[in-house]
A and B are shown apart, each in its own frame.
Chain A
Amino acid sequence: QVRLQESGPGLVKPSGTLSLTCDVSGDSITTPNTWWAWVRQPPGKGLEWIGEIYHVGYTNYNPSLESRVTTSIDISKNQFSLTLRSVTAADTAVYFCARLNNVFFYFDFWGQGILVTVSS
């Protein structure tokens, strides 16, 4: 069974940098045609796609966040990461990591999510 688990600080100061990691088990992060993604959900609101990465380094980002986002992959640890710079209170959200199925390219496995609060 594929499992994803987010980890990282639950509190980040305004103007600081949010950094999260997603550990993957039950699948290889180098599986052909499989992309790995981040989605967030502000409290009580809907889902927002942040971006996605393929193990050779290809990335796609939400244009509204692209200037502040970086994703990376660590093949040796079978994990991928998210960095979001210059955060504000509007970046407070539950952050999910997810797998994009390599046949139909939708999110088929998700982490449980981690709440990140931006506050001083």
Chain B
Amino acid sequence: EIVLTQSPATLSVSPGERATLSCRASQSVSSHLAWYQQKPGQAPRLLIYNATNRATGVPARFSGSGSGTDFTLTISSLETEDFAVYYCHQRHYRRTFGQGTRAEIK
């Protein structure tokens, strides 16, 4: 099983600040990684696929980078609606999710 480890577990950020979330895979997943946003009581929402591509309708302030084992989701300037839990997900071999990073208001 490919284990995805996300850091930090919780990110305290002020609105308008930049947020950087990390996802590390236990073995290479090439670029087969996605990021999802989940708000309380809602289903996850696809933000980024294949490491760097924004999904339809996702604002440009969200960007993804990385390949192999190390990946980053960057939110350039956090808006209040961005405070949520973020999960990375690999489809390189079977499918697994990271444990999530919670972005909370500082």
Contact = CB atoms under 8 A, between A and B. Distances in A.
Contacts, number: 50
A12 B43 CA distance: 22
Interface string A105-120: 1111011110000000
A63 B55 contact: no
Nearest to A37: B95
Chain A interface residue count: which class?
A: 20 to 34
A47 B43 contact: no
Interface string A35-57: 00000000000111100100000
Contact of B53 (A46, A47, A104, A112): A104
A80 interface: no
A49 B97 contact: yes
Interface of A: 46-49, 52, 60, 62-63, 96, 98, 101, 104-108, 110-113
Interface of B: 1, 34, 36, 38, 42-46, 49-50, 53, 55, 87, 89, 91, 94-100
